[in-house]
Amino acid sequence: MIKGIGIDIIELERIKQSIKKSERLADRVLTKREKKRYLELPNERRKVEFLAGRFAAKEACAKALGTGIGALSFQHIEILNEASGAPKLQVSGHESDYFLLSISHSQEYAVAQVLIQEG
């Protein structure tokens, strides 16, 4: 049974400008494992896409849960990758739920959609 659905879109330029100012957004949004992967990316463009995608995915997840960011922090939501490269969503306190996640990028935007099914 579907428990929730959420979607979010963000401009890559907004993330790029934030990164230029400081790493504060990356530290706030990314978990330690996500930040490690972020720092290993080869160039600025990939870092912007990665951070924007994670930001959109976590916002979409919070919307799907019906809480929004606030009741749930970015640090409670982690996006890792399957061996195939597909993103995998894990949420502290929601281990019994099954999350489906899709992240996409264009030249200007990152978008993410989350669907939650009962475990």
The single residue of 47, 76, 94, 105 carrying the catalytic annotation is: 105
Residue 94 is among the residues annotated as catalytic for this protein: no
Please name the amino acid found at residue 72: L
Which residues face 47 on adjacent strands? none
**Cβ burial 26-36 (10 Å sphere, 16+ → b, else e):** beebbbeebbe
> How far apart are the C-alpha atoms of 79 and 53, rounded to whole Å?
10
The single residue of 47, 58, 63, 76 carrying the catalytic annotation is: 63
Instruction: Name the residues annotated as catalytic.
Output: 63, 105
